[in-house]
Amino acid sequence: MDKLVIEGGGPLLGEVRISGSKNATLPILAATLMTDEPCTIRNVPRLRDTMTMIKLLKSLGKTVEFNENEVRVSSKGSLNYLADYKLVSTMRGSFCVLGPLLAKLKRAKVSLPGGCVIGIRPVDLHLKGLKNLGAKFEFEAGYVMGKTNSLKGNYVYLGGDFGSSVLATANVMMAAVLARGETIIDSAACEPEVEALADFLMAMGAKIKGKGTSRITVNGVKKLHGANFSICSDRIEAGTFVLLAAATKSNITLTGLDYTHILALIDKLQEAGLKFQHADGWLKVKCQRNLKPTSITTYPYPGFPTDLQAQFTTLMAMTPGVSIITDKVFPDRFMHIAELNRMGANIRRDGNSAIIQGIKTLYGAPVMASDLRASAALVIAGLAAKGKTEIHRIYHLERGYENLEEKLVKLGAKIYREKE
């Protein structure tokens, strides 16, 4: 197992290209299960999660080729309906094969994904929505076993305790595409990744209206064909680099992104005093030496994303003054607090909020990554801190950031790997 070693304390400079979206890639790959024709998907990030989904598609009977950042999926025969525990348990996003398998095969056996360190994330909304379309479910030995004689369009309400669910919306929308009649998904997730999935399904012949809104209407079709598609940019990677620039007092230009996908972040950083320039496809972050403490509350899109909460917490930890970070999407997503405090931060948790007394400087220390976004937060902290930081369990980073070290080195970061 490797660890990251960072010698921080200096500004970065240059240009970084944002990779394709991980959270858009996974359900789009799952959607290829619903056609027998070849699909070519471009701008696919080479990540651990991507490789897990490719392994899952292969186990279900697909032929998959991954060259550079292009994935080609084709059929080699009949599909398997079993999504094995060994693959689904390593990545929650793989649960989105449930809807496509039910739509294509009328049955599915998919391992329950379980919880994770950022909090338990149940699949009740997935099952509720698919039941409304005519699926029936049983549970056995950690598996969801679903079957249907025929999926039929219906009204589906997907509102949950913490708002809409991206993966539940994806599962229901994919199943509805091959269901008979009209399906209306109310309280649907509005995230760009859901919109990208709708675009891909429409490229395959699906009939969908309302993408990007909280009400999606799907008129079922009998068959889907193959498609060529390009994945949208990763808004969470983009936001992470913006926050990295702010924390290290750097001037960095991001390319290959849609800055409108991170307007909630940009708005809060402008409130804190950061300056931006932008146009189609690029965003320039202009360092402001003295930022103001700024509080945030996470919400589903277009609100402030929970996937940037840990990174924003890092920035506020080194911004003198008091700020409050509240997470209403994943109330337990604060594993990074203890590690930031090891670096000198002054943060305490109060329920689903973090109370931050910002200081001027963090100091390098050995820290432990607990999850994907907490890992990114610690990388930002290490780059901004004085001295040397060692980050352990960095395999989390490989799940969601393509070529992160290479990109950081090009910006002038002193970062390298060592064996534990």
Active site residues: 116
Helix ranges restricted to H, 184-343: 192-203, 235-247, 263-272, 309-317, 336-342
Q: How far is CA 153 from the centre of its chain?
A: 28
Long-range Cβ contacts of 70-74 (<8 Å, 24+ apart): 70/40, 70/41, 70/42, 70/44, 71/29, 71/40, 71/41, 71/44, 72/38, 72/39, 72/40, 72/41, 73/29, 73/32, 73/38, 73/39, 73/41, 74/37, 74/38, 74/39
Q: How far is CA 172 from the centre of its chain?
A: 19
* β-bridge partners, 184: 155, 217
Name the burial class of residue 141, with classes exposed (0-12), middle (13-18) and buried (19+) by CB atoms within 10 angstroms of its CB: exposed
Q: Which residues contact 227 (CB under 8 A, 6 or more apart)?
A: 39, 40, 200, 203, 204
Distance CA 261, CA 271 (A): 18
Output the CA–CA distances (angstroms, integers) from residue 240 to 16, 99, 101, 332, 381, in the order listed.
12, 31, 34, 20, 12
Q: Are 188 and 216 in contact (CB under 8 A)?
A: yes
Q: Are 168 and 158 in contact (CB under 8 A)?
A: yes
Nearest to 406 by CA among 2, 19, 8, 10: 19
Q: Which residues contact 46 (CB under 8 A, 6 or more apart)?
A: 66, 69, 402, 403
End-to-end CA separation in angstroms for the chain = 6
Structure tokens at 320: 């003198």
Helix ranges restricted to H, 273-371: 309-317, 336-342
168 phi, psi to nearest 5 deg: -65, -40
Structure tokens at 70: 């292009």
Name the burial class of residue 348, with classes exposed (0-12), middle (13-18) and buried (19+) by CB atoms within 10 angstroms of its CB: exposed
Count of alpha carbons within 13 angstroms of residue 70, beta-carbon side: 7
